[in-house]
Amino acid sequence: MRQARFFVNNGGGWSGDGRTLPPALDIEHNPSGATCYGKSQPAMVDWIRAFSDEVKRLSGRYPVIYTTQSWWSQCTGDTGAFNRTNPLWIARWSSDPYPLPNWPSHTIWQYTSTGSVPGVSGNVDRNVFNGSRERLAAFAECSNENPC
């Protein structure tokens, strides 16, 4: 798949060094067109599978899937087809990450889009890893399927 090859060749690679996080597929609301990119639910699932499999083949690691519960439900039919291979990065700007798409748990939670950090002017997304610092290092190193 051309898009996955371009992604991996232009910064989407991964190294099991314990510091480099795995590649991520940001698949959510399309701000410039059809919500589901003009794809039916089965076609979207097929596209995500093809992208994910090619990233795995090229980098050695399945990508994390970054999405929202509502988009995932609408555009994939809330498929659970990726919950054993791809970690979930849930975007839910709320007091907790639930409800989740069809994954048993999340790996990363983006809890706000209006955060702040020293040295950066304006709003920034803020995220939290679902685990300890040691688990984060293991997650960065792991080449197995989800969960690492």
- Residue-wise pLDDT for 68-122, tens only, equals 999 999 999 999 999 999 999 999 999 999 999 999 999 999 999 999 999 999 9
Would the pTM count as exceeding 0.75?
yes
Q: Does the pLDDT at position 63 exceed 90? A: yes
User: According to the model, what pLDDT value does residue 13 have?
Assistant: 76
Q: How far apart are CA 27 and CA 47, in angstroms?
A: 11
User: Percentage of the chain with pLDDT > 70?
Assistant: 99
The per-residue pLDDT for range 75-89, each reduced to its tens digit, is: 999 999 999 999 999
**pLDDT class of 19 with cuts at 50, 70, 90:** confident
Residue type, 57: R
Q: How far apart are CA 99 and CA 70, in angstroms?
A: 9
Among the residue ranges 50-54, 65-69, 108-112, 142-146, the one predicted with the least confidence is 142-146
User: Domain 21-141 is in which class?
Assistant: alpha beta
Q: Is the dihedral of CA 18, 124, 101, 67 positive or negative?
A: negative
Residue 108's φ and ψ, nearest 5 degrees, are -130, 140
Residue type, 127: N
User: Percentage of the chain with pLDDT > 90?
Assistant: 80
Domain boundaries, the chain: 21-141
User: According to the model, what pLDDT value does residue 92 have?
Assistant: 97
Residue of 31, 73, 27 lying closest to 50 (CA atoms)? 27
Q: Does the pLDDT at position 55 exceed 90? A: yes
